[in-house]
Amino acid sequence: MRGFLASSIGVATAAALALPLVLPTPALAAASPDAVTGSTQSLPLAPLGPGTADRTPGVPGMSASPRLPETRGLAARDVETFSLVGVVWDDVSTELHGHVQVRTRSTATAAWSDWQDVETHNSEHAADPDAVERGSGRIRGATAPLWVGESDGVEVRVQAEPGAATTPRAPGRLPSGLRIELVDPGLSAPGAGADGKNGRPAGDDKGEVAVPGMTMEMAESSAANVPHAALGANEITALDKADSTADAVFASDGTLSEAAAAYIGPRPRIVTRKGWGADESLREPGFVYTSKVKAAFVHHSASGNNYACKDAPAVLRSLYRYHVVSSGWRDFGYNFAVDKCGTVYEGRAGGVSKPVLGAHTMGFNTDSMGIAVLGTYTSTAPPAPALDAVARLTAWKLGLFGADPRAKTTLKSGGGNRFPKGQSVKLNVISGHRDGFATECPGKQLYAKLPPTRTASAKLQGRP
């Protein structure tokens, strides 16, 4: 196991968590719709069109022409309301080589969308091969999720690439167990204090809410951020550079040198998991940590740009449910998320200043953090507020561990498609996902913005 399991954060936390914390293992079966906490509809994909039989129909004794690429899908149909879609399959080690497209019907207009491409994603966002999370037996292969907005109709088609193989003897075939996942983000988690459908935080200007309405699971997650915020806070407030140095004591247990502490950037405002309405009963209990944060990997969520900033909490709730319920991960994959307006959100639970082990860059999750910019930035330029937020977040979080955003660092590969397990790899302290794994993420346009982001982050740290 890489990292160690912990569910207490010190004396202050222990008082809030006096009762035993026993959380259910996330169920992988299709959930019944629930207007408050969200739901997942999981529908199997059936064979479509030619290429699904070995013999030519209607001609006895005649073999089929060479098998066409396998195609599976779902005919247009009415479904319960959902806002995000993705396709999953049984074996996480099997890659989907093909094209995935969906079209959906809007509840607002009753109009069907055009066909939209879904990125096949093929396991580059995942726990390391030898991590306990990876070996749980619940992990599935999955495409990238796609945010489509509130919808009540869906049609799906998945076609294998010609000659693509899931095994050497199965050209043009798709992975087994293909299913479409339709995710409804719901309103919020019970006791989250959201004031509307989009999960906007309620409460006073400091984001504090009454603790009595919190669940045990929510208390565990919220307590991980004490003393940065009060138990039950919807947000962690911004601090100037001078006040942010106090965060280093909590993050590094006082081991950061005085010289290194001088380069901690100002802490950005961070919306907590409670603030965006995470249903804490979905994730596994406890937290897994590594020893430090030496690097930050920047990602795009590849979920599309068709969202308003007010919808970002709902997008996050959908991504979280897709990661845990549909893909079988222990929690949200990324450590942080940033929306197009520059708001920073807490991702995987365990404390925003702690070295929480994520599932964002397979092979390099240890001693790193993952930041997902919500959207798809292959051909679309990332908004300036989002880039500024990445610079502010990395200036603070990397500074807590003495890391210079313009420098390089060495990480040991945990295994992946680019570097073999055990290889020491020199990477930029702020890297793109593609630097550690052969993938298009974080998209050509976002990746091109990383050099100036490193410079901006170092400047915020006060480095010459």
pLDDT at 204: 39
CATH 3.40.80.10, the chain: domain bounds: 211-461
CB 460 within 8 A of CB 452: no
Using alpha carbons only, give the angle 340, 345, 346 rounded to the nearest 5 degrees. Answer: 155
pLDDT tens figures, 319-344: 999 999 999 999 999 999 999 999 99
| pLDDT higher than threshold 60 for residue 134 | yes
**Both tokens assigned to 42:** 């999981």
Alpha-carbon distance of 235 to 444, in angstroms, equals 32
CB 157 within 8 A of CB 179: no
Alpha-carbon distance of 91 to 271, in angstroms, equals 34
Among 110-114, 258-262, 445-449, whose mean pLDDT is lowest?
258-262
The DSSP-derived string for 72-110 is: EEEEEEEEEEEEEEEEEES-TTS---EEEEEEEEETTT-
pLDDT at 250: 66
pTM over 0.95: no
Alpha-carbon distance of 300 to 378, in angstroms, equals 9
Collapsed DSSP state (helix, strand, coil) of residue 310: helix
Identify which of 148, 174, 151 has the alpha carbon closest to the alpha carbon of residue 47: 174
CATH 2.60.120, the chain: domain bounds: 39-54+68-184
Collapsed DSSP state (helix, strand, coil) of residue 463: coil
Mean pLDDT of the residues in the chain? 83
Alpha-carbon distance of 98 to 172, in angstroms, equals 9
pLDDT at 408: 98
Q: Which residues on adjacent β-strands are paired with residue 416?
A: none
Q: Fold for 39-54+68-184, please state it.
A: Jelly Rolls (2.60.120)
Please identify which residue in the block is written with the tokens 């298009």: 440
Q: pLDDT > 90: what percent of the chain? A: 64
Identify which of 426, 390, 371 has the alpha carbon closest to the alpha carbon of residue 265: 390
Q: What does the pLDDT average to over 117-131?
A: 74
Q: Fold for 211-461, please state it.
A: Lysozyme-like (3.40.80)
Please identify which residue in the block is written with the tokens 């897994």: 288
Dihedral of CA atoms 76, 314, 347, 449 in degrees, nearest 10, equals: 80
CB 337 within 8 A of CB 347: yes
Peptide bond into 382 cis (omega under 30): no
Rounded to the nearest 10 degrees, the angle between the axes of helix 384-399 and helix 450-461 is 50
CB 218 within 8 A of CB 274: yes
Confidence of residue 17 (pLDDT cuts 50, 70, 90): very low
Burial (Cβ within 10 Å: 0-12, 13-18, ≥19) of residue 205: exposed
**Both tokens assigned to 184:** 């409804």
pLDDT tens figures, 185-226: 998 765 554 333 333 333 333 444 446 668 899 999 999 999
